[in-house]
């Protein structure tokens, strides 16, 4: 039950990484003015595509590449619907989530002739960074992780820098905050939003690949189990700022890792499974209260 050890930190990072990758995609979309709640469905599709690619190619990294590309293509539904056709992104995203559940459930039956879970003994998972064994602290935290774990952290920091320091990042923020003003200055608002939604889909593909080939080596129907919605909550809590998204996702990862530790001391599995979602509800309440406080301050 000890949480003051490096193995617990490693468990937190492993649990947080899929949520973080998806939340970074959601944060980018929010910065461009598209509220993306399709993260759950896109992550689920990414997990399925990663397992299919790994199974048929014999290489987990081919599975990651297929997940990245195919999920970006899958996100074109939201990109075209919301950015180009100006449809309500909430309605389109709900349709994407439902479509992902149906397609992956149908696909596992057609491709593998199974239902529920697909876990063949020859399925290749992502290799661990065992070369870090023996390195103090770093080895304890990262030696048993896939390379996507440190990549997610680097991406969060890089995106934070890009949004605040680069010309294109500042234009993207302008597209989200004042699209009419950005358009009057010659910025192609539709192109920016379309590109960002596709990039967010690629990040969700990486999230699904980490979940199915990094955290475990299996595909199970609906295996995202609400992690996409936790990513949406992280985006809301962090006000779409990637650096704070990282902090929020680490908090959610800590809740999930702590839930697993609770199982180790005999706590009911249901209580352990509920831990990250309880935190999510508390976050949503806190976000709402913060919004109400700011509204009162503006009114005064």
pLDDT tens-digit series, residues 48-58: 999 999 999 99
Residue % of the chain over a pLDDT of 70: 94
Query: Would the pLDDT of 2 be above 60?
Result: no
Query: Would the pLDDT of 114 be above 90?
Result: yes
Determine the pLDDT at residue 27: 97
Determine the pLDDT at residue 277: 74
Please report which confidence band the pLDDT of residue 80 belongs to, taking 50, 70 and 90 as the band edges: very high
For residues 226 and 277, is the Cβ–Cβ distance under 8 A? yes
pLDDT in tens, 153-170: 999 999 999 999 999 999
Structural domains of the chain ordered from first start: 6-299 (1.10.3470)
Which of 157-166, 190-199, 291-300 bottoms out in mean pLDDT, i.e. has the lowest? 291-300
| Cα gap 206→210, rounded to integer Å | 6
Contacts of residue 260, defined as CB under 8 A and 6 or more positions apart, other chains included, come to: 11, 272
Q: 294: which strand partners? A: none
pLDDT in tens, 209-240: 999 999 999 999 999 988 999 999 899 888 88
| Cα gap 65→262, rounded to integer Å | 35
Tell me which of 262 and 236 has the higher pLDDT. Answer: 236
The whole model's pTM is what?
0.91
Query: Would the pLDDT of 241 be above 90?
Result: yes
Determine the pLDDT at residue 282: 78
| Cα gap 280→291, rounded to integer Å | 17
């Amino acid at each position: 039950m000890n949480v003051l050890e490096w193995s617990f930190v490693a468990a937190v990072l492993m649990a947080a990484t899929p949520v973080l990758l998806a939340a970074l995609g959601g944060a980018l979309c929010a910065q461009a003015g598209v509220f993306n709640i399709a993260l759950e469905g896109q992550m689920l599709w990414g997990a399925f595509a990663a397992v299919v690619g790994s199974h048929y190619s014999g290489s987990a990294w081919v599975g990651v590449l297929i997940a990245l590309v195919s999920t970006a293509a899958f996100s074109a539904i939201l990109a075209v619907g919301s950015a180009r056709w100006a449809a309500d992104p909430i309605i389109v995203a709900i349709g994407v989530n439902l479509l992902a559940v149906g397609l992956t459930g149908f696909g596992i039956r057609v491709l593998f002739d199974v239902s529920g879970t697909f876990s063949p003994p020859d399925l290749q998972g992502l290799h661990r960074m065992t070369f870090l064994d023996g390195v103090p602290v770093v080895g304890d935290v990262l030696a048993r992780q896939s390379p996507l774990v440190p990549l997610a952290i680097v991406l969060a920091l890089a995106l934070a820098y890009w949004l605040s320091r680069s010309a294109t990042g500042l234009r993207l923020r302008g597209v989200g905050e004042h699209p009419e003003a950005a358009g009057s200055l010659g910025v192609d608002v539709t192109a920016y939003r379309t590109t960002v939604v596709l990039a967010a889909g690629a990040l969700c593909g990486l999230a699904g690949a980490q979940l199915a080939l990094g955290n475990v080596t299996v595909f199970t129907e609906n295996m995202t189990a609400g992690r996409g919605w936790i990513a949406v909550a992280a985006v809301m809590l962090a006000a779409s700022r990637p650096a704070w998204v990282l902090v929020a996702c680490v908090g959610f990862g800590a809740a999930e890792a702590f839930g697993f530790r609770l199982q180790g001391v005999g706590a009911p599995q249901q209580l352990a499974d509920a831990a990250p979602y309880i935190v999510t509800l508390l976050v949503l309440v806190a976000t709402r209260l913060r919004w109400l406080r700011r509204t009162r301050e503006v009114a005064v």
